[in-house]
Structure 1
Amino acid sequence: MPLHTGEALVLRTYRLGETDRLVVLLTRDRGKKRGVARGGARSRKRFGGALEPFTHVRVAYQEREQRDLVRLDYADVLGSPLTAGGEACTYASYFAELLDEWAPENDPQERLFRLGVAVLDALQTGVGAERLARYFEYWLLRLQGVYPSVHACPQCGEALQGGAVLEPRGHWFLCRQCAPHGQGVAMPGSALQFLVEAAQVAPAALGDVNVSSEALVQVAAAHRLLLVWHLDREPRAARVLREINL
């Protein structure tokens, strides 16, 4: 059985029998893998906190031909949302769930991996989780090629600096003149400006971006519509976050 070592992000874990855990990993160089952590459910001594969602780890695993599951030998923590405390762990579960939804099996997705690690690093340094969530959603959708333009109305070509509406059927940002009356999610100019700046900075620099809490609420509403449209459902962790923030 060949032994593979490298970096990974933990996406999900499930109890497997009395003593083991099934672990979903996004590896840096070999894509998403599912594996068994022997003893991972019985004792924390072997894996410690390395199996928590959105933990950045260095792993070693063995892969057998014609077997879907790899065998996880060890996982050493390189970064953990547990160090951020508070609401960070709830947001971390949300980030991990979205990565799991979009990352294909056994297909290297280094850009998704680097996005996850960069957001985790920013979370650990104290960047606001709400800002990071909007940034993460934006880049996740953009990397999949499904984020609408925030610069110009696709119908008339008018610049959108003054605000726009996310049209619920076409899923693009329209200027207020072209948008159907009373439909869609209104996006003020400040919300669009946040997205423009998010395209140009690392997540660690988001704390320096000037954006109001009201604008972030509008971005969240627009992103929820886009995510539900492309996933055909709302992520479970998103519902938990919304209930917490009520």
Structure 2
Amino acid sequence: MALYRDVGVVLRVHKLGEADRIVTLLTRRRGKLRAVAKGVRRTRSRWGARLEPFNHVDVQCYTGRSLDVVTQAQTLDAFGAGIVSDYARYTAGCAMLETADRLVAEEGEPALRLYLLLVGAVRALADGERDPSLVLDAFLLRAMSHAGWAPAITDCARCAAPGPHRAFSVAGGGAVCARCRPPGSVVPSSETFALLDALLHGDWHTADAATAPTRRDTSGLVAAHLQYHLERQLRSLPLVERRATPAPPVVTGPG
């Protein structure tokens, strides 16, 4: 029996038998990991609540014949407590977990950068300081960048002509110049291109200042680009609540 430890974020859980669960985690060293947690659905289980989606945990497992088995679990960050009580944060978080699960196709495939990105994004959701839809879109753009699918935003995706360009083609890879523009391209506003660039590079001053229509348009482009390259729909994305956090009122002096 080979014991090992790793840290990871719980992506999803499935019932197994009367009292067990199959837990899927994105871990720091082993990439995606599926393991059986025995007895965690019993009311007397001491650590079953730790193996819930969004939680960041330290697990000890041993290698089994078909699935590994969890023998210990310790909570590092109980992110779920700050997410599941808010619908907008919960639905955005579900889309993050599903995306991470889809991007790592094979168990055991190294995914350190995606793991670190997911931990940071889930922490930002749990903190509740930013619009959940902005956190989600920033995560999706950066996750696609790690996968090699980041949309072109300034230079033309086809000929690399320097921009800015007016058109955007999901099938074409992002921003396209007038010469390369394929049929079916859309023409987003310059503010939408600016928000895409801000989310990809972490410019939160620009992102937080974006208007609600700009955020909606940006979210639509990000979702379409992701699902085109995944070649499948994400079940959680249509449920995401897209709401813009209102800007703070401007306080002016007397007179």
Deviates more, 1:122-131 or 1:37-46: 37-46
Show the counterpart of 1:143: 146
Distance 2:102 2:67 in 1: 18
Give 3-state SS (helix, strand or coil) of 2:187's partner: strand
Structure 1 residues 208 and 166: alpha-carbon distance in aligned structure 2, compared to 1, 3 A threshold = closer
Residue 45 of structure 1: how far off its partner (Å) = 3.5
Normalised by the size of structure 2, how large is the TM-score? 0.83
Residue 193 of structure 1: how far off its partner (Å) = 1.7
Deviates more, 1:163-172 or 1:24-33: 163-172
Q: Does 1:166 align with 2:164?
A: no
Deviates more, 1:93-102 or 1:218-227: 218-227
Show the counterpart of 2:55: 55
Normalised by the size of structure 1, how large is the TM-score? 0.86
- Structure 2 residue ranges without an equivalent (≥5): 244-255
Residue 75 of structure 1: how far off its partner (Å) = 2.1
Structure 1 residues 186 and 51: alpha-carbon distance in aligned structure 2, compared to 1, 3 A threshold = farther
Show the counterpart of 1:200: 201
Give 3-state SS (helix, strand or coil) of 2:26's partner: strand
- For 1:105, which of 104, 107, 110 is the aligned residue? 107
- For 1:68, which of 66, 69, 90 is the aligned residue? 66
Residue 176 of structure 1: how far off its partner (Å) = 5.8
Show the counterpart of 2:253: none
| Aligned counterparts, 1:117-196, within 5 A | 117-126=119-128, 127-153=130-156, 154-155=158-159, 157-160=161-164, 164-175=166-177, 179-180=181-182, 183-196=184-197
Residue 235 of structure 1: how far off its partner (Å) = 0.6
Give 3-state SS (helix, strand or coil) of 1:4's partner: strand
Show the counterpart of 2:97: 96
- Structure 1 residue ranges without an equivalent (≥5): none
Residue 196 of structure 1: how far off its partner (Å) = 2.1
Instruction: Please provide the CA RMSD for this pair.
Output: 2.4
Letter in 2 for 1:20: D
Give the count of matched residue pairs. Answer: 237
Q: Does 1:226 align with 2:229?
A: no
Letter in 2 for 1:34: R
Residue 200 of structure 1: how far off its partner (Å) = 3.0
Deviates more, 1:226-235 or 1:126-135: 226-235
Structure 1 residues 214 and 12: alpha-carbon distance in aligned structure 2, compared to 1, 3 A threshold = same
Distance 2:186 2:55 in 1: 34
Distance 2:141 2:168 in 1: 14
Show the counterpart of 2:22: 22
Deviates more, 1:83-92 or 1:121-130: 83-92
Residue 115 of structure 1: how far off its partner (Å) = 0.3
Runs of 4+ in 1 over 3 A off after TM superposition: 175-181, 205-209
Residue 207 of structure 1: how far off its partner (Å) = 8.7
Q: Identity of counterpart residues, as a percentage?
A: 27
Distance 1:245 1:200 in 2: 21
**Rg comparison, structure with higher value:** 2
Structure 1 residues 47 and 186: alpha-carbon distance in aligned structure 2, compared to 1, 3 A threshold = farther
Residue 155 of structure 1: how far off its partner (Å) = 4.1
Give 3-state SS (helix, strand or coil) of 2:34's partner: strand
